[in-house]
Structure 1
């Protein structure tokens, strides 16, 4: 049994805390909202982010970062990308040993466009025992024990293997990977493509259009990743193609649902006000466009999605712009 801290009680953080507790580990889950923490401790359910899923009584809930860090051999970081830096900075003074850090956030930091691995290393350059977790993982399905596969990637093979052993269960199969940058970029950019996929279905454009968009979206993700130093084959794996297909086609995808509503005429501001859950693809669209410019990579789907979200371009205009581009080779 290990003592494990989970920082972030959204649907995914709560699910991972549940999984680890059921494996027999002593788990402490950090909850930002005090009222939610009280309710979770009393009712053993995260009614805000993971309703209908019973949580183990052994799972400890706290609003104190000092408590979640105390005596931990491993700490999972599962906060939204836009608060990742601030929460990790607040957590750092309470780190007394050298725990294994597992980043399970899928996104890019606003403004800097950094991955969470890059943010963590900027805040704490000496951190070495570090891995990222990603893949096609709807929290609700994992929390119900439905078969799921993911990838844990680290620059150190031994670290990836340790995370693999820590998280794997009979229904949650974890593969070890060695390309954390590619895994993080896949997890972030697929959210942008998922918004575009939702727009395609919201406009009623058919299966042909959706299949083409997913395929060309994968091409965009891969080109950017390779330009930044990741490996192309990573994007053909669970954190790339696997997560992309799931997020673009599964109705549990928040980013796809956002795109569906946009395609049907809803306004972005209304959609974001209506839901308490973070749509990482909205922020990631800014990051994708900025990174594409920075690394001289053509990413038209991400650029058109950004234009719909932030430049008042209509979904129909975005589709027309994509279809009207100069004809070219598929390999370009």
Structure 2
């Protein structure tokens, strides 16, 4: 028997996940702030700005009324930018009046507070209405999921029942879901890989090859692991789908907004111009600042993150930043 799921956010990933849920036999509603987008989804069954190759099933309807979207839902899937997560969670908290499982498929850290998304949700949603909070994360591009390309991701939660429910909601022949109890590690891996993806795009834009890319990804994983372990993550999580898996897919594909932003930086374009032309949130930009500040507060060395922070926020020359990385004092791996 299917469940009723409210998907909060109608970007590319929210659209793709809504399609997976519907195909699995669930009743799906989508919430969007944009009335034009709502009309397009409901009348044309498309989402051309975010996912032009995708057509929604006619039974998936969008609404700009958050109450209408969440009423009666057994699970709420948050798929919105990190910067909007707290505000939307506050609104949802005033509307829910029954037990729900809360799932999020967003990847980032809150600016200023540096908090993970599950922490934001737990702070804003009344615990008595929650069966659990789940992070859905892993190596996955919406553009490939809608083509039913083989995809494997992780449902992480401190509440095993909620992780298992999420697995059951999404799993099918092309979309495989594993459960994990280490939500700290899964969320840290998901957020910080976007920083390394910007770096991978930068070196590609500068014309460097596979050697440079492999070195950046490997040392980037070391940085992610150092900070994650300091924050309480299981080191083995970073060897899994939401660690090295997500890092590989995001650092090697033009589907990644973060990679594309980095590539344009490497080509000499200004950050503001890049973000304006893309017209979509590039989570790695704000996450770079949050991770840089978080690492500093914990005394964790993250030289790649620091280099990208200086390029993005201090207008450092990208080639000079790379040279500084290469000229750091030799040390044991």
Deviation of 1:56 (Å)? 0.5
1-structure distance, mates of 2:278, 2:263: 14
> Which position in structure 2 is the counterpart of 1:235?
238
What is the CA deviation profile of residues 53-99 of structure 1, one whole-angstrom value per residue up to 9, with x for unaligned ones?
Answer: 11101101111110111001111011100001001111111111111
> Which position in structure 2 is the counterpart of 1:270?
273
Q: Secondary structure at the match of 1:129?
A: strand
1:257 aligns with 2:273: no
1-structure distance, mates of 2:49, 2:114: 29
Q: Is the 8 A contact 2:93 2:126 kept in 1?
A: no
Structure 1 consecutive aligned stretches of length 4 or more whose deviation exceeds 2 Å:
none
1-structure distance, mates of 2:99, 2:220: 38
Deviation of 1:296 (Å)? 1.1
Describe how 1:90-109 pairs up with structure 2 within 5 A.
Answer: 90-109=91-110
Describe how 1:111-126 pairs up with structure 2 within 5 A.
Answer: 111-124=112-125, 126=127
Deviation of 1:128 (Å)? 4.7
Q: Secondary structure at the match of 2:196?
A: helix
Q: 2:144 aligns with which of 141, 154, 160?
A: 141
Deviation of 1:124 (Å)? 2.6
1-structure distance, mates of 2:167, 2:18: 15
1:170 aligns with 2:158: no
Describe how 1:282-293 pairs up with structure 2 within 5 A.
Answer: 282-293=285-296
Deviation of 1:280 (Å)? 0.3
> Which position in structure 1 is the counterpart of 2:28?
27
Q: Secondary structure at the match of 1:94?
A: coil
2-structure distance, mates of 1:158, 1:125: 19
Structure 1 unaligned residues grouped into runs of 5+: none
Deviation of 1:189 (Å)? 0.2
1:157 aligns with 2:160: yes
2-structure distance, mates of 1:162, 1:40: 27
Deviation of 1:195 (Å)? 0.2
1-structure distance, mates of 2:97, 2:16: 26
Deviation of 1:109 (Å)? 1.0
1:246 aligns with 2:259: no
2-structure distance, mates of 1:39, 1:237: 38
Q: Secondary structure at the match of 2:228?
A: helix
Structure 2 unaligned residues grouped into runs of 5+: none
What is the CA deviation profile of residues 112-161 of structure 1, one whole-angstrom value per residue up to 9, with x for unaligned ones?
Answer: 11111111112236245111100001011011111100000110222211
RMSD: 0.9
Q: 2:185 aligns with which of 182, 199, 210?
A: 182
Describe how 1:175-214 pairs up with structure 2 within 5 A.
Answer: 175-214=178-217
What is the CA deviation profile of residues 232-279 of structure 1, one whole-angstrom value per residue up to 9, with x for unaligned ones?
Answer: 100110001000000000111110011111101111010011121110
2-structure distance, mates of 1:56, 1:144: 14
1-structure distance, mates of 2:231, 2:55: 42
